[in-house]
Amino acid sequence: MIKITIDNIQVKAKEGETILEAAKRLGIDIPTLCHHEALEPYGACRVCQVEIITPTRSSLITACTYPVWDGLIVKTDSEKARLARKFMIELLLARCPGSEEIKKLAKDMGVKTHRLKTADEEERCILCGLCVRVCKDMIGKSAISFVGRGADRKVDTPFADNSEDCIGCGACVFVCPTGAIKMVDMAKIRKIHGGNTQLELASCKCCGAGFATIKELDHLKGKIDMLKDILGFCENCRRKKLSSQVVFS
């Protein structure tokens, strides 16, 4: 264990953990949009900036990527850190003015408006990369990725077409912090808006309801042999099937 100081409170921290993790244990809230515990820190949104103090100078760094070290002094609520976060939120608000999550953070930070031109009032993507990384690192598919450069940069499927690699698991939808990606099940088809994907749904062997894509189930069968017997059932029927097999003594 090492000793660090966060907001004038000296605490013990574990070697290898980040400032964000140490602050969370103390109950200190540091806002962030691109961080997810299941993925490696990325530092894309820059909303979690804090100030660190050294004998010669102070610096702004992203709390989600910066590892703690013995004697580290951190200020999470200094004027310098607050101004940096407000500036980033103003940029994100200009890009995604309709995002409820962005508007909530803006309100919390006292940002009422932005001074920049909004290119697309319907835009929700902040280019945090969570969807791209979860698809590649957790699902192992890379069905979506960043395309374009500069102002034209966006997340899309190859050639903006229906992705052959997408299994329709919805992991990208789950981790998206602003609701930029939508998943809708219609009859026997699952549509993922933002990923240009349409996939056929499998029908539950018990009730007949569509519940997961055929490609997702095939993917899971290859990963988890012990679940093959229940993968053909929807969540409700699966729960009933498993509960009926439980014997209470």
Q: Which of 77, 109, 141 is the last residue of a domain?
A: 109
Same structural domain, 198 and 237: yes
Could you report the per-residue pLDDT of 28-67, keeping only the tens digit for each?
999 999 999 999 999 999 999 999 999 899 999 999 999 9
Number of domains in the chain: 2
Same structural domain, 142 and 95: no
Same structural domain, 103 and 39: yes
Residue 95: which CATH number? 3.10.20.740
192 within a domain of the structure (yes/no):
yes
User: Quick one: average pLDDT of 95-99?
Assistant: 92
116 within a domain of the structure (yes/no):
no
Q: DSSP letters along 124-179, please? A: ------HHHHIIIIIIS----EEES-GGG-EEE-GGGS--SS-----HHHHH-SS-
**Domain range holding 209?**
130-244
Same structural domain, 101 and 145: no
Same structural domain, 41 and 140: no
Say yes or no to pLDDT of 11 above 80: yes
Residues with Cβ within 8 Å of 181's Cβ and at least 6 positions away in sequence, in order, are: 131, 172, 173, 192, 193, 194, 195
Q: What pTM, to 2 d.p., does this model score?
A: 0.86
19 within a domain of the structure (yes/no):
yes
124 within a domain of the structure (yes/no):
no
233 within a domain of the structure (yes/no):
yes
120 within a domain of the structure (yes/no):
no
Same structural domain, 85 and 135: no
Please check whether residue 178 is in contact with residue 126, taking contact to mean a CB–CB distance below 8 angstroms.
yes
The mean pLDDT of the chain is 90
Say yes or no to pLDDT of 21 above 90: yes
183 within a domain of the structure (yes/no):
yes
123 within a domain of the structure (yes/no):
no
